[in-house]
Chains A and B, each alone.
Chain A
Amino acid sequence: MERIPILKMGSFLLVTVQVDMHDRLAMTLQDDLTGRIVKDRAHGVLIDISSLEIVDSFIGRMIGNIASMARVLDAETVVVGMRPAVAITLVELGLSLPGVRTALNVDQGVELLKECIEERAQGNGHVAG
């Protein structure tokens, strides 16, 4: 079965969505990713959607679900590389991806993840990772 690859990058996981995502593939990614967060003890997830030409409400919901599930599993999620036309369309569609952090590219996404994790560690009074 077709799968979206998940790469380990230190204590983060990187997912680069490079295909036109059909619904089943999105569901599989959700399952695979939550499994990998636990297995790899990841503290952050980067989802690179720079290749995605559209994000509809199904894909948007999948991204939101991943972020929520990751948070429950003690990991932060940052979505990177959203195309401007996709951002305009998403907002007009009525989808603002609440609770999902975004960054313009992978480098900035990594920085944001590090900040989030640091902040959380201070807030919780223990050090993550």
Chain B
Amino acid sequence: MATLRDEIYPIRSSDDIVKVRQITREWALMQTFSLVDQTKIVTAASELARNTLEHGRGGEVRIQALQEGPRRGLRLTFTDQGPGIPDLAKALQDGFTTGNGMGLGLSGSKRLMNDFDIQSEVGKGTTVMIARWK
């Protein structure tokens, strides 16, 4: 698998969420995703960036433009050093929330993407990886 581009952006404020959306849109366009796919990727990125900020007390996102044979992909990895998630299975359920959201962030972004992986350790932090391929 070839990495065409690889960058890291901070998620420290509500403005950074908007910035992550804009960057993700640019990269999805660069990878020639359809408008619907772009919208799905940007929406998932927005959900996870907000999780990183609100539940993880801020962190960063690594964004990678990938190529595997004829397939192009976009992978985003959100990392925080926040409190971690004690019960992952529960956190992945629709409607489960500890904040004041709707509890669709994790489960929803999983549905919007092709690949989804989450690692979390209580007291250490959380890493969520999502990718979409065309």
CB distance from A24 to the nearest CB of B (A): 6
Number of interface residues of A (CB under 8 A): 22
> Is B15's CB under 8 angstroms from A60's CB?
no
Give chain A residues whose Cβ lies under 8 Å from the Cβ of B134.
none
Which label, helix, strand, loop or mixed, suits the secondary structure of the A interface?
A: helix
Known contacts A54-B46, A61-B102, A95-B102; A86/B108 CB under 8 A: no
Total A-B pairs in contact (CB under 8 Å)?
70
> Is A58's CB under 8 angstroms from B111's CB?
no
> Is A22's CB under 8 angstroms from B15's CB?
yes
Give chain B residues whose Cβ lies under 8 Å from the Cβ of A72.
none
Interface size class of B (residues with CB under 8 A): 20 to 34
| A95 CA / B108 CA spacing, docked (Å) | 9
The reply to whether the CB of B25 lies closer than 8 angstroms to some CB of chain A is yes
4 further contact pairs, Cβ within 8 A, besides A22-B18, A61-B101: A54-B21, A54-B42, A92-B40, A93-B108
Q: Which residues of B contact A (CB under 8 A)?
A: 14-15, 17-18, 21-22, 25, 35-36, 38-40, 42-43, 46-47, 50, 94, 101-102, 104-105, 107-109, 111-112
